[in-house]
Structure 1
Amino acid sequence: MADWVEAGEKAPAFTLTADDGSKVKLADLKGSIVVLYFYPKDDTPGCTKEACAFRDQKSELVKYGVKLLGVSPDDKESHGKFRDKYQLNFPLLVDKDHKLAEKYGAWREKNMYGKVTMGIQRSTFLIDTEGKVAKVWKRVSVDGHDAKVLEEVAKLAG
């Protein structure tokens, strides 16, 4: 199991398919602040709450030129339905084989009622304009998380 990517490290590169079928490549986002967040599953209570909170902060994030990206192992069709149902205004990326989650350390052992499984650990990575990780939130608690991210973005944007 991969260790977490830590602040100060270069963000692992990726090219993933988005909910609309386009390809999103981290290298193409150089020069922008990127908020990359990993979530377990489309249209589940916690993930919906988190996605909607980020959706509602989008206009604030845009002021800082932020590119917001959600990542889960769900497929393009599932992402499309989730996006449309909640009018999500940012790309949801397909990480079906969880390779990206593994690179970032977000693919972890989870213990649910004594049953150990592997899955996405809700986490967020703030990537600066040079492609370095500026801040990492591990084991994210959804309530108020969007505000914390926005606060760090504002600091980073100076």
Structure 2
Amino acid sequence: MLNEKAPEFCLPNQDETEICLRDLSGKWVVLYFYPKDNTPGCTTEACDFTNELEEFEKLDAVILGVSPDSPKKHINFITKKELKITLLSDEDKTVLKAYNAWGLKKNYGREYEGVIRSTFIISPDAKVVAQWRNVRVKGHVEKVKDKLKELQDENNS
């Protein structure tokens, strides 16, 4: 998937407004997939992205979080945690599957299908230029920001 065209998507955000990748052409997109609103790891990740939002905006980047939760659940999560990022709802898991962020997971020896915590940086020309899979939340947002800066420096040189 790296250096390939990013899979196109149109998903409803927390306000049920459709957000499409094609509408973000010319911008950097940080697309991250997470399992569930209001769970410890997902809350930490969303809060970390919110805390760094201004820095990402200075880098001309849009942050989009995607989970199978409904727009209504996203609104509750955003309100409860005072999030400033956009959350997209992929209830039928089409986009999760397109980015290989849905699959077999193991927890305490039990196998089940679920969201594989993943992050992608999509360039202004809609290519996947960085990816992280099975993300560990601690320190992750910092890594994404550093990679974005590095990619932009390469683009500008």
Normalised-by-shorter TM-score class: over 0.9
2: CA distance between counterparts of 1:157 and 1:61? 12
Aligned counterpart, 2:54: 59
Counterpart AA for 2:111: V
2: CA distance between counterparts of 1:86 and 1:59? 17
1: CA distance between counterparts of 2:86 and 2:119? 15
Counterpart AA for 2:28: I
Equivalent residue runs for 1:104-123 within 5 Å: 104-123=99-118
Worse-superposed segment, 81-90 or 41-50 = 81-90
2:95 corresponds, among 95, 100, 105, to 100
| Structure 1 unmatched ranges of 5 or more | 1-5
- In percent, how many aligned pairs have the same letter? 44
Aligned counterpart, 1:126: 121
Aligned counterpart, 1:17: 12
Taking structure 1 as the reference length, the TM-score comes to: 0.95
1: CA distance between counterparts of 2:136 and 2:54? 22
Aligned counterpart, 2:24: 29
CA shift for structure 1 position 157 = 2.0
Aligned counterpart, 2:39: 44
Alpha carbons 2:69, 2:90 under 8 Å: kept: yes
Alpha carbons 2:11, 2:18 under 8 Å: kept: yes
2: CA distance between counterparts of 1:10 and 1:103? 12
Alpha carbons 2:6, 2:122 under 8 Å: kept: yes
2: CA distance between counterparts of 1:87 and 1:34? 21
Alpha carbons 2:37, 2:73 under 8 Å: kept: yes
Taking structure 2 as the reference length, the TM-score comes to: 0.96
1: CA distance between counterparts of 2:24 and 2:74? 21
Alpha carbons 2:46, 2:85 under 8 Å: kept: no
CA shift for structure 1 position 56 = 0.4
Aligned counterpart, 1:89: 84
1: CA distance between counterparts of 2:106 and 2:147? 30
Counterpart AA for 2:131: V
Aligned counterpart, 1:76: 71
CA shift for structure 1 position 33 = 0.2
Alpha carbons 2:11, 2:89 under 8 Å: kept: yes
Counterpart AA for 2:145: L
CA shift for structure 1 position 80 = 0.4
